[in-house]
Amino acid sequence: MSTPPTILSWHAHVYFDPASSRDRAERVRSGIAARFKVQLGRWHEVLVGPHTAPMYQVAFEPAVFAELVPWLALNREALSVLVHPNTLAPRADHLEHALWLGTPLPVLSDVLPERIERARESPIVPNT
Ligand code: ZN
């Protein structure tokens, strides 16, 4: 068996509908900010990357997973949340390695490279 890939970090993408669920997304966001050392990304109301609905990203270190993901399971306010690891295989990370809380949404696989050489993002700097 080959060595399993190392998980460098995790993302949680919290999806919302600007017309009907932005207030709930705000509550989830401030709940995260109050409790966890994470890097909260900005609001994306225009679709970006492989995502098929507006969302914001929460980036966190592997050590935060065991606290944050159970909290999200209970407090996601009925929003869809994609939780995916970041190895160096973005396509598999979003499609095969991913966890969904709530209703899964489509993910555009075409824009996701199969392999990258190194993490594209700088190290996580908690802003909460
Ligand atoms: Zn992501």
Residue 126 CA, ligand 1 centroid: distance in Å? 16
CATH code of residue 98: 3.30.70.1240
- Total domains in the chain come to 1
Only one residue has tokens 């009907």, namely 20
Domain membership of residue 61 as a residue range: 9-106
Residue 13 lies in a domain: yes
Residue 2 CA, ligand 1 centroid: distance in Å? 25
Residue 25 lies in a domain: yes
Residue 13 CA, ligand 1 centroid: distance in Å? 6
Determine how β-strand 99-101 pairs with β-strand 81-86. Answer: antiparallel
Residue 19 CA, ligand 1 centroid: distance in Å? 23
The residues with which 84 forms a beta bridge, in sequence order, are 11
Kindly report the pTM of this predicted structure: 0.93
Residue 114 lies in a domain: no
Residue 123 CA, ligand 1 centroid: distance in Å? 14
Residue 1 lies in a domain: no
Residue 41 lies in a domain: yes
- pLDDT tens over the chain, length 128 residues: 667 779 999 999 999 999 999 999 999 999 999 999 999 999 999 999 999 999 999 999 999 999 999 999 999 999 999 999 999 999 999 999 999 999 999 999 999 999 998 776 677 888 98
Residue 20 CA, ligand 1 centroid: distance in Å? 23
Residue 41 CA, ligand 1 centroid: distance in Å? 10
Residue 128 lies in a domain: no
Taken as a whole, the chain contains a residue count of 128
Residue 122 lies in a domain: no
